[in-house]
């Protein structure tokens, strides 16, 4: 995988030249895809994720970086610009490329766009869609996972932690589960590579609180204490084995 950089029509782009020959500003415009009848779906979160037909065999996901919290009331999507490499979309596309090189289950990066002006920037990221997958929260709202799947999830998280990957928002919506009960992580715009430390336990605890929150909101949410025990067992086994 080779990431390339260029300025096109006054905008900065970073892209994977195996996924895209050359980026164009319109590829980051949801209305452009909608006009072509190639905007497949939208998903609401902190920002909207747009599911696009893409230009190849695999559909794309477009996300526009948006602020959260009280500041979003007055500034929805502008961030302080201190260099291309410090922008969220560029950090994320580089992180995804690095994790893909390590065979970690993350979406394939396609392209990032930065629009900078007067010391601020707006940013967008396109990734390949993880096919036949849905958020773990949605899956558990409909049916239970087998104990072996929870163990597999624990093992997947252990692989990320052994690689030093700290996911800033590890929750039940940023874990995808596919039709084969394989797991993938998404949303790495604030992720970091860190030295070993207590952050690993804090990361797991963040996911557990997320699952408990969904369970508290619905009696039909399929998450038991035994499921978490299975996850921890899978985590410990894979982490210790160095797989």
Number of helices (H), then strands (E), in the chain? 6, 13
- Which one of 21, 57, 124, 169 is the catalytic residue? 169
Q: Which two tokens stand for residue 6?
A: 């260029």
CB 15 within 8 A of CB 107: no
**176/133 Cα distance (integer angstroms):** 6
DSSP states of 47-62 as a string?
SEEEEE--SSSS-EEE
What are the φ and ψ backbone dihedral angles of 133, each rounded to 5 degrees? Answer: -130, 165
Assess whether 169 carries a catalytic annotation: yes
CB 234 within 8 A of CB 151: yes
Residues 6+ apart with CB under 8 A from 60: 51, 52, 53, 54, 110, 126, 127, 128, 129
* C-alpha distances out from residue 242 to 99, 160, 197, Å: 16, 11, 17
CB 104 within 8 A of CB 160: yes
Annotated catalytic residues are 169
């Amino acid at each position: 995988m080779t990431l390339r950089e260029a300025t096109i029509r006054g905008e900065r782009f970073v892209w994977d030249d195996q996924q895209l020959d050359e980026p164009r500003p319109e590829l980051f415009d949801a209305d452009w895809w909608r006009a072509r009848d190639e905007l497949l779906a939208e998903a609401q979160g902190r920002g909207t994720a747009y599911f696009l037909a893409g230009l190849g065999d695999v559909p794309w996901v477009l996300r526009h970086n948006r602020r959260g919290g009280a500041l979003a009331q007055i500034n929805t999507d502008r961030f302080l610009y201190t260099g291309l490499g410090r922008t969220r979309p560029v950090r994320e596309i580089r992180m995804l490329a690095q994790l893909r090189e390590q065979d970690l289950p993350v979406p394939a990066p396609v392209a990032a766009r930065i629009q900078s002006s007067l010391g601020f920037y707006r940013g967008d990221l396109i990734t390949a869609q993880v096919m036949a997958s849905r958020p773990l929260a949605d899956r558990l709202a409909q049916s239970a996972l087998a104990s072996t799947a929870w163990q597999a999830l624990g093992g997947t998280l252990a692989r990320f932690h052994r690689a030093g990957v700290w996911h800033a928002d590890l929750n039940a919506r940023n874990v995808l589960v596919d039709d084969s009960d394989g797991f993938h992580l998404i949303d790495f715009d604030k992720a970091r590579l860190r030295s070993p430390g207590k952050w690993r336990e804090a990361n797991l605890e963040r996911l557990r609180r997320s699952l408990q929150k969904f369970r508290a909101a619905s009696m039909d949410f399929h998450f038991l204490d035994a499921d978490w025990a299975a996850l921890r067992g899978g985590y410990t086994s894979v982490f210790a084995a160095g797989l």
